[in-house]
Amino acid sequence: MELNRRFYPAVTGLLLGLLQTGLFFQLTFTLSSSFRTFLLVTLCWLIGSAVGVTYAAKLHVQLEAFIGLALIAYFACAILLKIVPFGTQLWPVYAVLIGLTGIYPGVFFARMAAFYTARDLFLYENNGFLVGLVLGTLLFMLFGRVILVIAPIFVAAVVVKMGDVGHNRMYDFTRNSPDYPPRSAG
């Protein structure tokens, strides 16, 4: 149980690193390889995360639904890039899809704050994220685009399975809720 507790944020970070790496590679190779693409992925992801922390985390929706939303937006972006390669007129659509993918990390951090100290949560998730960035890059170099499809699905399934131990439930941290305030993470 303790091992799962430590690895859950790390595996979630791995998933997020794979998703962000996949978005970057797909957009770089089939839209534009400019600095604007990097900024598009980074800024829209952060905006989505801010929406997730601020608003989406308060919804009565299980965390698995946000994982599903992230995957749907990720694959919608990939499909759209395949249908309309180098379609720079679709930058706003890609921005929205990346923002939707970024909502999940925001919800994850907001809800997991009840179970982990900020130090532990950021340590485990960030290390997993860095592994995801490196692993996603290496696997992409070795196996090509197919890994951008397989890896996120596989890791998302692991994250959902690991979440079944109890952290992955709906919580309502609004003031009129029995879940408010969140119990101590320490």
Helix (H) / strand (E) element for 56: namely none
- Closest to 77 measured CA to CA, from 45, 114, 54: 45
Q: How much is the pTM?
A: 0.87
Q: Output the tens digit of pLDDT for each of the chain's 186 residues.
A: 566 777 999 999 999 999 999 999 999 999 888 888 999 999 999 999 999 999 999 998 999 999 999 999 999 999 999 999 999 899 999 999 999 999 999 999 999 988 889 999 999 999 999 999 999 999 999 999 999 999 999 999 999 998 754 554 445 444 455 554 455 444
Provide the angle, in degrees to the nearest 10, between the axes of the packed helices 2-30 and 63-83: 20
Domain boundaries, the chain: 2-162
